Amino acid sequence: MKKTIVLALATVCVLSVNASTTTKKDSVNPNKPVFTVIKQNPITSIKNQNRSGTCWDYSTLSFFEAEILKATGKTYDLAEAFVANKTYMDRAIQVVRLHGDCQFSQGGSAYDPLFCIQHYGICPETAMAKTGSQYGDSLFNFNEFFNVMTPYVEAIAKSDAKKLSPAWKNGLQGILDSYLGATPKQFTYEGRTFTPKSFAAYIGLDSAACNNYVSFTSYTHHPFWSAFAVEVQDNWRNPLSWNVPIEDLSKIIDNAVMNGYTVAWGGDVSEEGFTRSGLAYNIDMKHNKSLQGSDMARWLKLSKTEKRNYIDSLGCKVPEVVPTQEQRQERYDNWQLTDDHGMLIFGIAKDQNGKEYYMVKNSWGETGDYKGIWYMTKDFIVANTMDFLVNKNAVPKDIRKKCGI
């Protein structure tokens, strides 16, 4: 898997997003936010998942790259294809065990890379061979890949055979290796020979270190200060997330960022307030008092792109809704709050009106007005979080005490 920026690992530079602490005012759109950075933590280069449903992979490996950078000052480019290869095999095995009564798809959660590193190790990007899904392109394209693999897995899972042979795993591994590249058993990096497990230990991610990471969410259908597996299809390994009140979501993220940590965030970016220009607001036009009668009628007739363009034009003057615990639960229960994207929160900034935003690294290449970085208001993040992964040392002490971590 190649990246938007491909550099030798020894010389990969840490990304400096918005080198100045303040963005410039836009003469065309006076409402465009002018950001002043409050806190910004080092991250690695912007990647591009291209036509693949692997945001969970990219965002979480970016998280671990940032963890290593914080701990050692060294920059590594970890191989998303290694994680995908191991994860899709594990997921196929579960689908077969359950006779197809669960979903086989490209998606995943932040726990999947963590599980992979803890159980299989990891390798640098340079240790993975060029893959079949990159023929004719430098980026992933999973269209053909999953068109081949999904029917294969479903055919095995729904087989009427009384006994399965182990041969199906060999066939599936051949598909995975053809499209993702074979995972190396051994490789050389900076003059040293490693296995994936020994390399994980070398960069500070051995099995014990992987126990330092915890997940949080906020819903009312489970007791607060207890852990449960968030009920979404791509949370197929059923890892546990600590359930905290809504106000503690931003409290944890703020504490993490201000103390030099990043956060692997998973949530909903299908909302109209998430724009392609690099902004995200918790906007609810149905509750906006300025849209009544004919104005509301016009709004409802606009396409999704037109709505996002309108939101971009409002910029820092977009009216936001303050999320509540009840709204989060209602949207989750009625399928409005979905688990459709993974990103990396690494900073906090404020606009010219004092509104605070999280600085969030995306995996769509250097797109948008901020070259692959999104400025997402705190209200948007709190409203649309499904769950997030963070170093337990980044969690406020009072919350850690209540959770017992």
Residue 170 has pLDDT above 90, yes or no: yes
Are residues 36 and 354 in contact, defined by beta-carbon separation less than 8 angstroms? no
The pLDDT value recorded for residue 309 is: 82
What pTM was computed for the model?
0.90
- Express each pLDDT in 205-241 by its tens digit: 999 999 999 999 999 999 999 999 999 999 999 999 9
pLDDT band at 306 (very low <50, low <70, confident <90, very high): confident
Burial (CB < 10 A; 0-12, 13-18, 19+), residue 384, is buried
Question: How much is the pLDDT for 21?
Answer: 65
Lowest mean pLDDT among 4-13, 26-35, 257-266: 4-13
What average pLDDT does the segment 102-106 reach? Answer: 90
Amino acid at the residue 88: Y
Q: Is the pLDDT of residue 367 over 80?
A: yes
Distance between CA atoms of residues 189 and 124, nearest Å:
8
- Beta-strand ranges (E) seen in 130-186 are none
Q: Does the pLDDT value for residue 123 go beyond 70?
A: yes
**Which tokens hold the place of 327?**
């709204």
- The answer on pLDDT for 289 being more than 90 is no
As given in the structure block, the two tokens for residue 38 are: 């409050």
Beta-carbon neighbour count of residue 117 at 10 Å? 27
Q: What percent of the chain has pLDDT over 70?
A: 87
Predicted pLDDT of residue 298: 63
- Determine the pLDDT at residue 303: 83
CB-based contacts of 271, cutoff 8 Å, min separation 6: 280, 282, 283, 380, 384
pLDDT of residue 27: 62
270 within 8 A of 340, measured Cβ to Cβ? yes
Predicted local confidence at residue 398, as pLDDT: 98
Q: Which of the four CATH numbers 3.90.70.10, 3.40.50.720, 3.40.50.2020, 3.40.50.450 does domain 9-403 have?
A: 3.90.70.10
What per-residue confidence (pLDDT) applies to 399? 98
Tokens of 148: 């081949």
197 DSSP 8-state letter: H
Determine which helix (DSSP H) or strand (DSSP E) holds 263, and give its type and residue range. strand 263-267
Question: What mean pLDDT value characterizes the chain?
Answer: 89
Mean pLDDT, residues 382-388 taken together: 98
What is the torsion angle, in degrees rounded to the nearest 10, for the CA atoms of residue 70, residue 46, residue 371 and residue 266? Answer: -80
The CA distance from 257 to 142, in Å, is 34
- pLDDT at residue 349 in the model: 98
Please state the separation of Cα 94 from the chain's center in Å.
23
pLDDT in tens, 9-64: 333 344 444 434 677 666 677 889 999 999 999 999 999 998 888 999 999 999 99
For residue 50, what are the CA distances in angstroms to 134, 304, 359, 368? Answer: 10, 21, 21, 15
Classify residue 297 as exposed, middle or buried by CB count within 10 Å of its CB (0-12, 13-18, 19+). exposed
Among the listed ranges 55-59, 195-199, 268-272, which one has the minimum average pLDDT value? 268-272
**pLDDT given for residue 356 in this prediction:** 97
Q: Are 9 and 64 in contact (CB under 8 A)?
A: no
Report yes or no: 236 and 17 within 8 Å, Cβ to Cβ.
no
Residue pair 155/100 in contact (Cβ under 8 Å)? The answer is no
3-state helix, strand, coil in the chain (%, to 5): 40, 15, 45
Question: Which of 109, 358, 384 lies closest to 246 in space, CA to CA?
Answer: 384
Question: What one-letter code names the amino acid at 125?
Answer: E
If one compares 104 and 303, the residue with the highest pLDDT of the two is 104
CA 383 to chain centre: 16
pLDDT at residue 17, as a whole number: 43
